[in-house]
Amino acid sequence: MVARLNRGQYGIFITTSYYTSNAQREVLEDGYPIKLFSGGDLIEIIKELRLIQNGQLDKTWISSVLMQLHSVAD
């Protein structure tokens, strides 16, 4: 996938799991123009945005995301 990026493009790879040390090292050493987001990163972003209410994701936020997804699909 990285090899398909054209000059000036930037890639984002997201997983709810994790990236191996080798994968992370390859991205850094080869200077690929990509950002890796792991499950831990996603949790930190959710915490920073204060999207957790009573130990669960904020249902109002989830509803708004789902509404936006449905409106784009229509």
Rounded to whole angstroms, the Cα distance separating 72 from 34 reads 26
Amino acid at 57: L
Which class in CATH covers the domain with range 2-73? Answer: alpha beta
Q: Kind of pairing, strands 11-14 and 52-53?
A: unpaired
* Residue of higher predicted confidence among 31 and 64: 64
Residue 32's pLDDT band, with cuts at 50, 70 and 90, is: confident
Instruction: Say if residue 1's pLDDT is above 80.
Output: no
* Residue of higher predicted confidence among 20 and 53: 20
- pTM of structure: 0.69
Q: What is the pLDDT of residues 35-63, one digit of tens each?
A: 999 999 999 999 999 998 888 899 999 89
